[in-house]
Structure formats: C-alpha cells, structure tokens
Amino acid sequence: MRIAVGQFASAEDWTQNLRTCQALIDQAVAGDAGLLVLPEGSLALFVDEPARIRQAAQPLDGPFVSGLVERTRGSATTVIAGVHVPAGDGRVHNVLVAARDGELVATYTKLHLYDAFGRRESDNVVPGTNAPVVIDCAGWKVGMMTCYDVRFPEMARLLADQGAQIIALPTAWVRGPAKEWHWEVMVTARALENTCYVAASGECGRRNIGASMVVDPLGIIRSRLGDAPGMLWADASAGELADARLTLPVLENRRFAVDPRLERHV
C-alpha cells in the first residue's frame, strides 16, 4: 500500500485549513495512496491563546469534518486528520477522524493529554476514555494515536495487540530543547519495538517542528520532511512486514501483556 503524509502550517481560519487539507487529499488520491495522514490540530491554530480552542472547535457533523469527508467521496484513500470537537462542559475533545469514500469510518479521542514542558492541554481538553482504535484500510490494519500518545509505549503495544501493522500518528510537536531528538527517537522506537510501520504527520509553522516521517518495521526512516509544508510518500509491503516479524519476533518473544484498563481518569 502506498502511504502519503501531508504536512502544513495551520492557520487560525478553519476555511483556509480545509482548503489545504482538500488539496492534500486530492494529491493523495491522484498518487493512488491507500492512506493519507494529516496533522493533529488541522482545524485551527492555537499559539498565543490556547483557550481559543474552545471557540474554534466544531462538531463532527460541522463544516470542517464534513468538508474533509466529502472530499474523499469516490476514492479508496483513507484520510486521517486531527480536529477539536466540543465536549459538552465548555472544553473540547482532541479527536482523530478517519474518512473514506464520503463516509466517516472511525474516530479516536486522544487519551494522553500534553500536560508537560510547561503546557497544560487538559485546561481546555477532555481526554478520551475509549480503547485504542484500529481500522481496516486497503487490506491493512491501521492503528490511530495522537502526538503525546507516542511517549507511552504501552499505547502502541495495545494497537499491535489489536493487529495494527501501521500506526497513523498525527501530531503538532511543539518546538523546544531536544524536542526534535525526542520525536525521532520515539517515532522510530514505536515502529521497531512493535515491528510495524509508523506514518507520522507533524504540523509545521512558527510553533511546531514539522519533521513528518514514515518509519519501517525495523526502525528505518524511509521518507521524511523538514520544517516546510509538503507531502511525503512511502510504500508499505506485506512481504517486508512479514520478514521483519520473522527476523525480529519481539511480539512473540515478549513475556508481559499490557493491561488495557485505564490507569486513571483526568
């Protein structure tokens, strides 16, 4: 399966971001991609006023998600992107949506909120309580996780336990000391320790690093972007995946299971 990863700098105007996402969808469809991964926070940018996320959020049947979903109509490309959705208590949920052929096929609500490096996502965002989500995509099993989730190896392992062969990882990875190193280490580690592909999309711009990449099941970065908008491409091979899991059978050799119960609720 051909994988496309789109990277762009979100604007405060959701209509501009929708046009950007639709153009990337058109490129992915034209390139015969089975999967397109777009960034977290594709709906709108929140830099100087994080609380503005509450006013900018839209429901899943609102114009932004509807515009994404409709753009996939008539194609077999699955598009995964991050948006913010009203939670009902004045805050919002950070949600990944998966769309294909004019239908919303799955959602995943971010479990681990970015309360780190002096920031508090939980001031404005309610964490999910759902189990990790794996979807069918062009004959592949694709797991979904969002940004800060990558710092929790049990999350990726739970997706692997559900059969994930590819992990789609939309992010808005904030700049900071050693943050680009953290990003590369953890994205490659999640691929290597679960012998799966990871397709990671990073928002770029004045706050975030971009650095989108696709990593193969043996932890090799197959394609990557810098800090400018763009699209990258990589091919996932069933034969390559099988060979990697035969050569490095970590999923068979492990001695411990991951408990899927939530440790705590925020």
Taking alpha carbons only, the member of 98, 86, 83, 88 closest to residue 44 is 83
CA dihedral 185→188→191→195, nearest 10 degrees, is -110
> Which residue type sits at 159?
L
Q: Which residues of 22-57 are buried (b: 16+ CB within 10 A; e: fewer)?
A: bebbeebbeeebbbbbbbbbbbbbbeeeeeebbebb
Task: State the SS3 of 151-163.
Answer: HCHHHHHHHHHCC
Handedness of CA 120, 121, 125, 129 (dihedral sign): negative
Strand order in the sheet with 2-7: 103-109, 92-100, 78-86, 35-37, 2-7, 230-235
- Which residues are marked as active site? 40, 110, 147
Rounded Cα–Cα distance for residues 77 and 104 (Å) = 12
Whats the size of the chain, residue-wise?
266
Hey, what are 151's tokens? Answer: 């710092």
Hey, what are 218's tokens? Answer: 């043996």
Taking alpha carbons only, the member of 77, 107, 53, 82 closest to residue 200 is 82
